[in-house]
Structure 1
Amino acid sequence: MTVSQAANLPVLDFSRFHRTFSDRAAFIAELRGILHDHGFFYLTGHGVPQDLIDGLVAGAKKFFALPIEEKLKIEMVRSPHFRGYNRAGYERTRGEQDWREQIDFNTEGSPRAFDPDSPGWARLQGPNQWPEAVPELKDIVLDYQARVTTLGIDLLQAIALALGQPEDAFAEVYEPQPTQLLKLIRYPGRDVAETDQGVGAHKDGGLITILLQDVVPGLRVQTVDGEWLNAPPLPGTFVINTGELLELATNGFVRADVHDVVAPPPGVERFSFAFFLGARYDANIPVLPLPDDLQKLERGLTVDPLNPLFRNVGINHLKSRLRSHPDVAAAHHADLLAEILG
């Protein structure tokens, strides 16, 4: 296995998308190549205020420093909507334990009424769990979700143009309300973790991911040739990557690359903050009519027998949640396990 030690992902300045016609055109052309090659890049000029980013990092670190009994007051198993805190080892990727503790927040809402005929994904909608010991975190998280959602939708407009589509081509699958999963994550050092799997190799399931890294590296991206590229933190940037819904929508022209996180060295902790912008649960992902020159470069969909893809967004997301959090699935959704996971 080959691993590159440098930051080999491209860096794009998003402010160019909102400048002159020539700046915008050059940005879109560069983006088109990246979407086809690997779908991962660093983004500068994103417009999210640094004080908000600093507040999110500080609030998360304050929470993770709490005694375990305080953190368990919002343990995810208490939430049928898969919201809240997980201890390290409680989330799984491809059946293997991920050594990270985290809090999951999604779009804040009320539980949806459902009956036996309701789709299973209706159970995913509902309120978040908020830590009483860090009351400021709620306002910070909601503000951050709103800001990166705006950024994400702007990026989707740029992606649509790069694919030869109208700027609003993806609006039909995310309006009036996209899903907004935000994970605040702490990776303990390998003197605590039982393996070096911070999070196992996987593709992201949404439209795009907007990742904020703190200062400790660990993220790796696998190229189509099997090479692993390190993606260390770069100050002032987000790491952006495309998800499986864009691969579905483009018949594989856009890559949703495999990536993982290696647990940090002994005595070191790593923090990251991953925002997954997804489509509405009731949306079905169409195949976009790409221009002829792009259609010729379509690769078809990646087939993973352990993780089949569906065009219905809700089924895809519910499948992911049930697989990743077996304790929550057993506690609240045992009746769905055979139906969704087979």
Structure 2
Amino acid sequence: MLYTPIKFRNVELKNRWVMSPMCMYSCENGLANDFHFVHYVSRAQGGTGLIILEATGVEPRGRITNHCMGIWTDEQAEKLQKIVEFVHSHSESKIGIQLAHSGRKGSTWNNVQIPVEEGWETVAPSSIPYHPKERIPHALTLEEVKEQVQHFKLAARRAAAAGFDVIEIHAAHGYLIHQFLSPLSNIRTDEYGGNFENRIRFLLEVVDAVNEELDENIALFVRISGTEYAENGWNVDDSVTLSKILKQHKVDLVDVSSGGNIHGAKIEVRAGYQVPFASKVRNEAEAETGAVGLITTTEQAEEILQKGEADLIFIAREILRNPYKAVQGSFEMDEDCFFPHQYLRAKIST
């Protein structure tokens, strides 16, 4: 199944390997540069079915660090378009971008919050810091929440114009949208807080606004944290319920990760430790899902698909170690996969 095509709207992926979005902390003023070109294009040359660019801030305060990527200006989008055009011209890969806002987890470096003079005032649904020693974030007003929805909408417009095939909304890992979802970080008393329906409202408004900028030639994914590993927090049953609703709002795939919102949460990390969350969402919400989290071998990835636990395999650290993971996996399985014609002399399976 790894080398069986799959289609989302009119976007056909040649195989099920996905380069998971990973921050590179290598931008100045949010602008992609030569490093990013080489970094992403090399994975396309390696046969990856879908490449998703790192968390990309929809406004300056949406970055995690001063060196994170952005798409709040046309200049930033133009830099990204060069990567998109090369991938389309010189590979069979599709390419996506993850639109993100860090919320209270922004203005950091090396996972430590930097002074506001060097960074910025962080924002959140409620005035609760991620770590007790961090600055109290500014609680967004109703008007400011609506402004954030527009930031995502305009970012999607730029991404669509740049030619991306997939847009993924980052609603996981304790960043702004996840902060709204969780009752532990969202204690608002207006229409964006309180019960489940209110806490998911911001995400749904973002999804609807982004969809207004898309057509059938651009697919929409949403990354969520299947659970946040905390009592009375967001859990996998919430994720199933949310995923059913996301389907109704034209979300094509739910990318299921976990954690990130509660400092000090205890997580038992092991090979494929997040796959059960993707499986539960897929089978109970009847939604197409992506599995991610310490998936390192071709055999492991194929087994996940064969067991019906996910539809796509997102790999992160492994594809940093090996940009040619997809094509090498095709050698192992004696399957067809894109391989640059310049390298055909090396296309052997033994």
RCO greater where, 1 or 2, for CA within 8 Å and sep 6 or more? 1
- Shared topology, TM-score over 0.5? no
TM-score, normalising length from structure 1? 0.29
